[in-house]
Structure 1
Amino acid sequence: MAKGKDVRGVVILQCTNCAQKNFKKESRGTSRYITQKNRHNTPSRLELRKFCPYCYKHTIHGEIKN
């Protein structure tokens, strides 16, 4: 079987709120989730509302380049 272009690819979601705070020294890190998406049905970047353990609240996690 050929494993060329996978329709369902692995996507990394990163907290957009923590990514902006990453330049400050008091930031402990960034929240990241790993999920999958169908590249034919959703070609645009994925944004989901997930819980961030560093912000202690639900924030928008956007797809980053992996």
Structure 2
Amino acid sequence: MAISSNKKILLVCEECLSRNYSLQKSTISQRDRLVIKKFCNKCNLRTVHKESR
């Protein structure tokens, strides 16, 4: 049985701090925190979303 190197992460909006998105990230190839510009339903804008700890 193979061990999965993917980890489930949550993305947090920088403006309103709501946790909107969940993704899977490879822990082997990406060591630093993920930063993506995505749409936030609470802010109703495209804002920067960062990976939560």
Same structural fold, with TM-score higher than 0.5 when normalized by the shorter chain: yes
TM-score, structure 1 normalization: 0.70
Is 1:60 the counterpart of 2:48 in the alignment? yes
Runs of 4+ in 1 over 6 A off after TM superposition: none
8 A Cα contact 1:31 1:53, kept in partner:
no
Structure richer in strand, relative to its length: 2
Q: Which runs of 5+ in 2 are unaligned?
A: none
Q: Percent identity?
A: 32
Q: Which runs of 5+ in 1 are unaligned?
A: 20-29
TM-score, structure 2 normalization: 0.85
CA deviation after TM superposition for structure 1 residue 34, in Å: 0.3
Structure showing greater radius of gyration is 1
Q: What is the total number of aligned residue pairs between the two structures? A: 53
Cα RMSD of the aligned pairs, angstroms, is 1.4
CA deviation after TM superposition for structure 1 residue 32, in Å: 1.6
